[in-house]
Structure 1
Amino acid sequence: MSRRLRLFLLELPPPMHGMTYINKIIYDDINKDPNILVFKLEYGGNIDDIGKKSIYRILKNLISMLGVWSVFLLHRPNTVYSVLSATNFGIVRDFLNLLPAVVFGIKKTLHLHGFTYFDIYHKSKIYRTIFDILKKNSKFIVLCDKQKKIADGLFGINSFILPNCLRENAKAKRRDKHNEYLKLLYIGNISKAKGVFDLVKAVCLMDNVKLTIAGQVWTDSKEFELLIQNNAEKVNFVGFADENLKRELFASHDIFCLPSNLEEGSPISIIEAMSFGMPILASNKGCVPDMILRCGFVFEAPISSDILDNAITYITSNYEKLSAASLREYEGKYSREVFIKNFKELLCVQY
């Protein structure tokens, strides 16, 4: 009897972002399985280049496509796993990669990271046509219940929920919040769309609250620099945070903030904060409400000083309960062990 072979098409870091972070976790678990074949998609570039087109990147995509085709033809896998892109350029690339699976009727598991799919599906005929071709003989993985409801209704599918996770469990326990003043933390990409500018302005209007920001400035860097300089007593910008610095920041701050104006997927930063037992203060965007319903405060973006004041009052009044809930949510839904177990179970679900 011939063995059943699964093919995984995985884009791995660099660049490091939510999707490649999760792909690396999957790769580390499956790469030694004799029944699994991994093809590493090497598109190159930095995180700033995501979504940008160039001759170099197009050539890299074509080389990867030819490599994928050769794997299909030589090994004839029974199933294939791939993340789907949420751009016109990306979906064409993904379609070409998966064309042998479409032609030969190979079953597909397609992973949808985030909410951008829905808007482009409505607006782009090219995207909609390709997506509808790919969805045949496929099962879909999404990040949360909200995404599942939209995806199932719009695409006519029955998707499976698999939240993101952390590569490593935190080795720290929560301590009580500060008594002198409250320490807020934001870690992530810095832009107006992420709500960081509004958060700084809100914090500066409040007493006994300080904010630390870590990350890479994506847009309006001069304005952000001036904003930080003018509010240095209230806001500390530490730049990019490696894993060691992030652990120090999570362990030494009281509340994690994600004031995004964008539809978020399943942010790794929130999961990291949960693993340290931090209550979460975040906007009602994407999967965030599903994630922090029991361990934080959800508000309607954009954030303001009044919203921040109400959120802090609620969180400080329920700090121990929310901190304990964060740890429970992490251990029950977002640990690596839970993710891998659920992922493998989903792969075995019948099409």
Structure 2
Amino acid sequence: MKRLKVLIVGPFPEPTTGLSLSNKVVFDGLCKNPNIQPSKIDTSLKNFEESVGSFTFKKVFFFLKQNLKAYQIFNNDVVYITIGQSFYGVLKYAIFVFLAWILGKEIIVHLHGNTLINTYNNSSKLKKVILKSILSKTTKAIVLSDSLKANFIPFIKEKEIFVLNNFVEDYLYLSKKERGSKEYNALKIVYLSNLMTEKGIFYFLDALNKLEDSHVNFQAKCAGHIDESLKESIIRNINKTKHLTYLGSVKKQDKRELLKWGNVFVFPSYLIEGLPLSILEAMVTGNIIISTEHDALLDYFDASNMYFIDKQSANDILKTLIEINDSLNDHRKMIITNYEYTEQINEEAFVNKLVKIIQNN
């Protein structure tokens, strides 16, 4: 039986983001499938910048070089692209899409977010024509939840849009003994995401500073990349809170140990998010989740799974942390519910569902 050749086009670590990590899991998972032969083109800029999706000449030059690799499409049956969400985030993959379309290859576009439709609706007439000309060439689109299907409705038929939940990496799952040894005596707060303005980092730091003033017993740790232009300001704010430690960017075992140490995870992003991997990672490691509301989260979760907070509100973060602190040992049902949920979304389940979408005719 001939192996299906799948070319994955998108960012891979480093830097590690939810998107680049997902592509790595997809590639590694497809490598284990005897019926599929994967290859990849890494489109990741190797330095972290806060201005994701913005236009710079440095990025243009980089992606022009990446476009030279489009010849690999000739030798593949399927082109799987983790498309961007800004105008330039889509445009940079245009060569891959058009060449694959001309050659009659299957084009699968996987969207890891929820702002593509806003980009389209807010674009000029010319940009709308360009976006539609690219995205309408898609054979199949993949989104993270039902609500996010709206991102592709202007471009392809709804029957060609598939839902694929996000995943948790296998190494993060705790043993029964590790779950039993988790401590819920005092707040151990974790922030694990890129330390970006729109990820709510300054509201988080402000809330911790106020929590310290409230004389609540807690320890906090934050980890993630920082844009150089923000580093001085963020570090200065971190240093205001004596019970907070910045760990830099953590990976693999260090990330696992951080999440295992914590018991409350805060995700204060006011970006339009998809389904953040970091929240699923915090769930699988027994953390109580505090998050701003996002469409995909609301498709899968409610108050039985996590605490929802207002966006851009340090006071709401503070209020919720104090509320949890007053009943820290009373969250067993929530934690067990989340353990049970994450059992169903391991790497193998994620890749197997993706393979079914790829093979669906």
Both structures adopt the same fold (TM-score exceeding 0.5): yes
Change (3 A) 1:209 1:137: closer
2:349 alignment counterpart? 338
1:80 alignment counterpart? 79
Read off the aligned partner of 1:93 and give its amino acid letter: K
CA distance in 2, matches of 1:66, 1:34: 28
What is the total number of aligned residue pairs between the two structures? 342
- Please list every run of 5 or more consecutive structure 2 residues that lacks an aligned counterpart in the other structure: none
Greater shift, 208-217 or 40-49, is seen at 40-49
Does 2:75 match 1:64? no
How far the C-alpha of 1:82 sits from its partner, in A, is: 1.4
How far the C-alpha of 1:154 sits from its partner, in A, is: 4.7
1:321 alignment counterpart? 333
Question: Helix, strand or coil for the counterpart of 2:270?
Answer: coil
Change (3 A) 1:296 1:4: same
Equivalent of 1:178 in 149, 173, 184: 184
1:221 alignment counterpart? 231
CA distance in 1, matches of 2:13, 2:316: 40
2:28 alignment counterpart? 28
The answer to whether the 8 Å contact 1:115/1:147 transfers is yes
The answer to whether the 8 Å contact 1:43/1:57 transfers is no
- Please list every run of 5 or more consecutive structure 1 residues that lacks an aligned counterpart in the other structure: none
The answer to whether the 8 Å contact 2:167/2:277 transfers is yes
2:283 alignment counterpart? 274
Equivalent of 2:203 in 198, 207, 223: 198
The answer to whether the 8 Å contact 2:209/2:240 transfers is no
Q: Deviations over 1:291-325 (max 9, x none)?
A: 54242111221233355434653673641011111
1:86-165 equivalences in 2 (<5 Å) = 86-124=85-123, 125-133=125-133, 134-136=135-137, 138-148=139-149, 150-151=150-151, 153-155=153-155, 157-158=157-158, 159-165=161-167
TM-score of the superposed pair, with normalisation by structure 2: 0.83
Question: Helix, strand or coil for the counterpart of 1:321?
Answer: helix
Greater shift, 94-103 or 221-230, is seen at 221-230
Cα RMSD for the two superposed structures: 2.8
CA distance in 2, matches of 1:243, 1:214: 13
1:348 alignment counterpart? 359
> Percent identity, aligned pairs only?
24
Equivalent of 2:319 in 309, 319, 339: 309
Q: Deviations over 1:57-85 (max 9, x none)?
A: 444433432332x3334x3x443221222
Read off the aligned partner of 2:16 and give its amino acid letter: M
Change (3 A) 1:269 1:306: closer
Runs of 4 or more, structure 1, over 6 Å off, are none
Change (3 A) 1:4 1:108: farther
How far the C-alpha of 1:147 sits from its partner, in A, is: 1.5
Read off the aligned partner of 1:278 and give its amino acid letter: N
The answer to whether the 8 Å contact 2:223/2:250 transfers is yes
The answer to whether the 8 Å contact 2:8/2:27 transfers is no
CA distance in 1, matches of 2:27, 2:220: 36
Question: Helix, strand or coil for the counterpart of 2:80?
Answer: strand
How far the C-alpha of 1:283 sits from its partner, in A, is: 0.5
CA distance in 2, matches of 1:281, 1:59: 40
CA distance in 2, matches of 1:245, 1:335: 20
Greater shift, 210-219 or 264-273, is seen at 210-219
Greater shift, 337-346 or 120-129, is seen at 120-129
Equivalent of 1:262 in 271, 283, 293: 271
Change (3 A) 1:325 1:308: farther
